[in-house]
Structure 1
Amino acid sequence: MILSMTVLEGLEAGTIDLVFRRWAKQNVRPGDTLNLSAGVIAVDSVEIVDPAAITDAEAVRSGADSANAVRGTLRGAPDAPDAPVYRIRLRHLGPDPRHALSADAELSESDVAGIGKRLSKMDKRGPWTHETLRLIADNAGRRAQELAEILGREKDPLKVDIRKLKNLGLTLSLEVGYRISPRGAAYLRAISEDPGRTR
């Protein structure tokens, strides 16, 4: 689920705890957690609501000025304009632990070997990790679709794979596209300086 910076900042500050979405298919469920740029977000409840029943008070809790403003954003997909509207209650749990990991660029030989081992496991169905890391390092801010075209891959599977790299602290998500993290850059430097390491 994509959340705007306004909503993310409001969740962190405690001024926002609701979002509304028109979905053909429910994308989150109660009990889910989302690792996002503003931290770890818990999904506390998900309910189908009548858009006409959304109140101004609920709108304010979602970061909007009024219920009409919320309803104006609930367009839905072109092929599902009448899809259900969901009211999702969210809660900020704390900072994303991947932030501290991604900022750690002081890598020991053991750290580099450990990262290489994790990437090798990801490469068992075919090598992609190092090529993708280097592409992101050289193309900060490129959209997933553009990266997929360069790599000759489908966009959605690539986005899943980049999320795996992010979970290791090697990449960062931007408002648009991705960039290599300090940890990822340190890893690429380490393997380029030692030809004997896994590529």
Structure 2
Amino acid sequence: MLFTKQTAEGIRDGTVTLAFRRWKRVAVRPGTRLRTAVGLVEIGEVTPITDAEVTADDVRRAGHRSAEAFWAQLARHPEGALHRIGLRYAGADPRVALRERADLTGDELDAVRDRLARIDAAARRGPWTGDVLRLLRDEPGTPAAVLAERLGRDRPAFKRDVRTLKELGLTESLDVGHRLSARGRAVTEALRPADGHDTGTG
């Protein structure tokens, strides 16, 4: 379930508390927390309703200034039953605080190293985490398609790799491309061999 940045900001400030979607099969469950551009959004009650049950208050709480705009948005996905979804802001994305922490203890660094090693060991194509970390260190803001080509990957696959590292707090998104976070820079530097020449993390 995706939200525009404007809608996500409305959820954060409390002016948006509902969303409406047409689904053939319900896509979210109450209690689910979704990551957005402004932090975590928690799903509340999910209720199937008819078009006739939508009220002017519903339209307002979904962040629309008019019924016309509301129905125009829903018309983009006309198939499936209409559902009303409760929303609430659930706090900052914990990855934000994580990626800003560059002062890792020895145990924390060992845990990250072990996690990267497990990721590399599970990859059918062989170790890759070190290659991606170094590219983002050396070429921050470079379009993903460019870096993917250098690694012989397609863009969607490369972006999945970056998201995997983002879950560990090691990367962050830019308007164009990505870069290492403060935590990612610290980890990459710590993994650099004593002779200064980069090798893989695995």
Superposition TM-score, scaled by structure 2 size: 0.77
Distance 1:116 1:88, change over 3 A: same
Alignment correspondent of 1:116: 113
Amino acid at match of 2:170: L
Structure 2 matches for 1:107-186, cutoff 5 A?
107-124=104-121, 125=123, 126-137=126-137, 138-140=139-141, 142-143=143-144, 148-153=148-153, 158-174=158-174, 177-186=177-186
Shift of 1:40: 2.1
2:6 is matched with 6
- Larger C-alpha radius of gyration, 1 or 2? 2
Residue 96 of structure 1 corresponds to which residue in structure 2?
A: 93
Partner residue, 2:43: 43
Instruction: Rate the CA distance shift 1:5–1:194 in 2: closer, same or farther, 3 A.
Output: farther
Q: Which region of structure 1 is more displaced relative to structure 2, 39-48 or 189-198?
A: 189-198
Letter in 2 for 1:180: L
CA distance in 2: counterparts of 1:132 and 1:25, whole angstroms: 37
> Taking every aligned residue pair, what percent have the same amino acid on both sides?
38
Q: What RMSD, in angstroms, separates the aligned Cα atoms of the two structures? A: 3.0
Matching residue's letter, 1:117: D
Alignment of 1:48-87 (within 5 A): 48-51=48-51, 53-76=53-76, 81-87=78-84
Stretches of structure 2 lacking an aligned partner (at least 5 in a row): none
Moved more, 115-124 or 99-108: 99-108
Output the TM-score relative to the length of structure 1.
0.78
The amino acid that maps onto 2:62 is S
CA contact (8 A) 2:166 2:172 kept: yes
Equivalent residue letter for 1:16: V
Structure 1, unmatched stretches of 5+, are none
Residues 102-140 of structure 1 show CA distances to partners (whole Å, capped at 9, x for unaligned) of 111223444333211111111122322222333344242
Query: How many residues matched?
Result: 195
1:195/1:112 Cα in 2 relative to 1: closer, same or farther (>3 Å)? farther
Change (3 A) 1:123 1:195: farther
Measured against aligned partners, the alpha-carbon deviations of 1:133-176 in whole angstroms (never above 9, x if no partner) come to 33344242635x66555544455555544333222111224466
**Residue 20 of structure 1: aligned partner:** 20
Distance 2:152 2:24 in 1: 29
CA distance in structure 2 between the aligned counterparts of 1:173 and 1:86, rounded to whole angstroms: 32
